[in-house]
Structure 1
Amino acid sequence: MRKRKAAVSVLLAGIMLIAMCLSACGTDENAGKTVVELVQYKPEAVGVFEKLEEEFNATHDDIVLKIDSPNDAMTILKTRFIRENYPDIIGIGGDINYSYFVDSDILADVSDYQGLSSIKQSYLDILENLEFVPTEGTFGVPYVANAAGVLYNRDMFEEHGWEIPETWDEFMDLCEEIKSEGVLPMYFGFKDTWTCLAPWNALAVDLAPADVCKQVNRGETNFTDEYREIAEKMLQLVEYGEEGPFAYGYNDACTAFANGECAMYTIGSYAVPQIKSVNPDMNIDSFVMPGSDEKGGNVLNSGVDLQFCVTSECKNKEAAYEVLDFLLENDNIQMYLDDQNAVPCKDDSFELASEVDGMTEYIEQGIMSDYQDHYYPSEMAVDAQIQTFLINQDVDAFLAKFDKDWLRYNRDIIRLVEEYEAAHGNE
């Protein structure tokens, strides 16, 4: 019995010794170095971030970069914030979650970061507009964006001699022409409710004020007035899609477009990798959604798809800025663009994917506006509301519910706006 106890004691001592050695080895590896933790929300880009992490650590002696790319990053980040276990940098989109983080003082002001001077002003403006109320400072460094409008089969268009439309009437005429030649104009895949937001957002940037949500929060207008034309044109679009679009999802739509079953697809550039996974040789181009009735009245629907934010609890801002400098190096941005078919937020020369050729002019000139749904609270489930509306086709009922639900789910934000307006007036 004593021999067994002695053996167990020796075994436990050995395990503890090994653990101490391993711990010591880990400590020695990073001894004297600053560890910067970055958590980013795009699991589809994990391969790129693994390369970036490896390259950074191979070229920096005093800083260790650790990048985590979890599948449910936003939930994990929110949990960590509640537990006050902040990473140093977060990579997130420019959407309402960013707005919440700014409002909750989770993000640090990075106005003093010199790299901001290289970012296109249009994307900095998009981030600033996402603030519930004007907040002094800058809280994100836009990295890449995406662009949404209409993808089209370039070979099919050239074969039939179809022209790119510049107005809504020209777009409807094009759809009629395509249909008359026995080709399905578009595929939607509205079974997945989020896909309903793609044409909705692309039309909204042409037909509604960019700050319409803020105007509603200030009590200056309502969605029944501002969104009516968008809703009516959405119903027109559906007439040129597949029969029963609510029975098919995103993957179905990508596959159908890739296989030449339709001429166009109202989606963003982010869908290209999925489409090309079905047909790698497909010749795709895109054009801005021509929602306006006048030539020159259209705007590119583009938002910040990925930005880097330093958290307010970051212990070494200087080291975090060094990481940002590295990420903003042109070669590293280009690697990301090539892998993810993205649009750079940095104002410099990059090689863009041929699939956004038709949008390049808008990108270069900054003629763009953010996705309207980046202002929508998730509890409102606007994607599902749009799907229901397209099924029922009752414009008045849809808009009335939109206004009612907006007041319900945004009451806290509206109160903040009222308090700010009362304190600052017309400043």
Structure 2
Amino acid sequence: MKKTIKPVVVSVLAMSVLSACGSNAADNSANSGGNASSGEKVKVEFFQNKTEAKATFDKLVAKFNEANPNIVVTQVNPPDAETVLKTRAAKKDIPDVVGIGATDTYKTLSGSGLFEDFTGDPLAENIQPAYLQMLKDLTGSDELNGLPFSSNASGVIYNKAMFAEAGVTVPTTWDEFMAVAQKFKDSGKNAFYLTLKDSWTTLTPFNSLSTIIKGNDFFKERAAGTVTFADSFNEVAEKLLKLTEYGQKDIFGKGYNDGNTAFAKGESAMYLQGVWAIPEIVKANPSIELGVFPFPATNDAADNKVISGVDTLLTISKNTKHKEEAKKFVDFLLQPENVSLYINEQKAFPAVQGVTQDDPTMDGFKEAFTAGNLADFADHYIPSAMKVDTINQSFLQKKDIKAYLEQLDKEWDKVANRK
């Protein structure tokens, strides 16, 4: 979903969170309530960051509350949820249950000791191992501080009717991708509908290009100071810029919502977005026939993975007064029938074994999911304070590759030096 990759910045977070961890966080108001075993109603706060998933979680919360009359789960879903969560962490006010993406925010809060360690917990037994490993790779810790619930996928969404009319097939290499784009351009049609007014939308192609061409180990090496963007990211920059040649005229004048509607109306053949956009596209045009395919970033089709990461993980405050009730709610959410409800409504993929995404729109990604040909989002490994999305946006306006790569290095070092 789009909020997963939208950077959030809160100054002096690291010190304030560490300070919060040094004292007992058990006295927060979210953890007030009785004890279910005593017959009193226990109030459990479920804080989650996906605005578009609120209605789906409302259904699941209502179902749980009906089945557990002595527990009252309340969903909290504020705007700018990651900023709110960071601020609450600094005030020793961690919600009982948290739903969040596997982002830099999660990495920071997890590393500060705020969340339960689920290592060896039965709740983790049915989670797909690849997603458990993604969390450990992200945090660099042996602890498992979250339970992957759903995953998303990013690549290219395409209009099947426009492809058929143009007589083109799904490209599997970069050269084929550009040839398809050129064919649409030559016919007077937009290959892509770009929404660069919203800087975060630059991250979708950036993540695909970065992860597939360089691999996410690059960011670990950058953190160690053994590589630089200037020396390593030229191909990524060139290809990111190349995409803008095939968009509509006002690529910086349109945002995400504009793009969903325009693509639904057939104003481009392809859309560089993740599966989180599909519900909005279908809402705008219920009769559209969509397909998806992995972003072909290189000329080796085998290397062109589907970019997929933990879209929502579930975790519990280490200091909640209601750990038993919180775990009961998390266990409920992880049941296959509840995961199925969620992924079908949200057009997401399951992180729980034994659950499948059966929407035919997603068929173009299924082979990669079956084979495990997946890679995590690059921006999950980039400090959010860098604001890489706005750096990308500025680069695509100015078209200066050398300056772009130098700025990436400069901003990375600036953030690193604050720690």
Shift of the alpha carbon at 1:202? Answer: 1.4
Q: CA deviation at 1:350?
A: 2.0
State the Cα distance separating 1:191 from its structure 2 match: 1.1
> Of 298, 305, 323, which aligns to 1:292?
298
**Pairwise CA distance, 1:61:** 4.7
TM-score, normalising length: structure 2: 0.87
Match of residue 326 from structure 2: 320
Partner of 2:236: 230
Q: In the alignment, what sits opposite 2:210?
A: 204
Task: Specify which of 113, 132, 135 is matched with residue 127 of structure 1.
Answer: 135
> Could you tell me how far apart the structure 1 residues matched to 2:248 and 2:310 are?
31
CA distance in 2, matches of 1:58, 1:263: 46
SS at the partner of 2:52?
helix
Shift of 1:221: 1.2
* Unpaired segments ≥5 residues, structure 1: 1-25, 414-427
Structure 1 residues 249 and 72: CA distance shift in structure 2, 3 A: closer
Q: Which residue does the alignment assign to 2:61?
A: 53
User: What letter corresponds to residue 279 of structure 1 in structure 2?
Assistant: N
The CA deviation at 1:110 is 1.1
| One-letter amino acid of the structure 2 residue matched with residue 36 of structure 1 | V
Take 1:277 and 1:327, find their aligned partners in 2: how far apart are those partners? 26
2:202 partner letter: C
Task: Please tell me whether residue 377 in structure 1 is matched to residue 383 in structure 2.
Answer: yes
Q: How far, CA to CA, are the matches of 2:261 and 2:223 in structure 1?
A: 40
User: Are residue 94 (structure 1) and residue 102 (structure 2) matched?
Assistant: yes
The 1-side partners of 2:218 and 2:302 are apart by: 21
Query: Structure 2: how far apart are the matches of 1:28 and 1:39?
Result: 20
Structure 2 distance, partners of 1:249, 1:79, is 28
Unaligned runs of 5+ in 2: 1-32
**SS in structure 2 at match of 1:246:** coil
Q: CA offsets, 1:43-68, max 9 Å, x none?
A: 22111111111111221255432322
Residues 135-174 of structure 1 mapped to structure 2, 5 A cutoff: 135-174=141-180
Distance 1:382 1:154 in 2: 32
1:2-401 equivalences in 2 (<5 Å): 31-131=39-139, 134-401=140-407
Q: CA deviation at 1:169?
A: 0.8
Return structure 1 stretches of 4+ with deviation > 3 angstroms. 26-35, 61-64
Q: Once the 2 structures are TM-superposed, how far is the Cα of residue 28 of structure 1 from its aligned partner?
A: 11
The one-letter code matched in structure 1 to 2:56 is V
**Mapped partners of 1:333, 1:208: distance in 2:** 33
Aligned to 1:8: none
Q: Give, as a single letter, the amino acid of the residue that structure 2 aligns with 1:360.
A: K
The CA deviation at 1:77 is 2.0
Tell me, yes or no, if structure 1 residue 406 matches structure 2 residue 417.
no
Matched residues in 1 for 2:131 and 2:355: separation? 16
Shift of 1:260: 0.7
Name the stretch that deviates more: 164-173 or 250-259: 250-259
Contact 1:189 1:247 in 2 (8 A): yes
CA offsets 1:93-143 (integer angstroms, 9 cap, x no match): 110000110121111211132121211122112111211xx3231001011
Provide the identity percentage: 37
2: distance between equivalents of 1:388 and 1:75? Answer: 24
Q: Give the 3-state SS of the residue equivalent to 1:191 in structure 2.
A: coil
The answer for the alignment partner of 2:26 in structure 1 is none
**2:321 alignment partner, SS class:** coil
TM-aligned CA deviation for residue 88 of structure 1: 1.4
Q: Could you tell me how far apart the structure 2 residues matched to 1:107 and 1:411 are?
A: 26
SS in 2 for 1:130: helix
Give the partner amino acid of 2:107. Answer: S
Match of 1:417 in 2: none
Which letter maps to 1:230? V
Distance 1:412 1:117, change over 3 A: farther
Alpha-carbon distance in 2 for matches of 1:80, 1:237: 40
Displacement, 1:171?
A: 0.8
Query: For the Cα contact (< 8 Å) 2:340–2:355, is it kept in 1?
Result: no
**Residue aligned with 1:301, SS:** strand
CA contact (8 A) 1:113 1:321 kept: no
Q: CA deviation at 1:146?
A: 1.1
The whole-number CA distance in structure 1 between the counterparts of 2:135 and 2:418 is 21
Aligned to 2:10: none
Equivalent residue letter for 1:119: I
Alignment partner of 2:243: what SS?
helix
What's the CA shift for 1:172? Answer: 1.0
CA 1:364/1:245 → structure 2, altered by over 3 Å: closer, same or farther?
same
Distance apart, 1:75 and its partner CA: 2.8
Deviations 1:340-389 (A, max 9, x none): 11111112132333332101111222211111112222322111111111
Q: CA deviation at 1:76?
A: 2.7
CA RMSD of aligned residues (A): 2.0
Counterpart AA for 2:365: M
Q: Distance in 1 between matches of 2:93 and 2:355?
A: 38
Q: Is the 8 A contact 2:44 2:74 kept in 1?
A: yes
| Alpha-carbon separation, structure 2, partners of 1:412 and 1:108 | 28
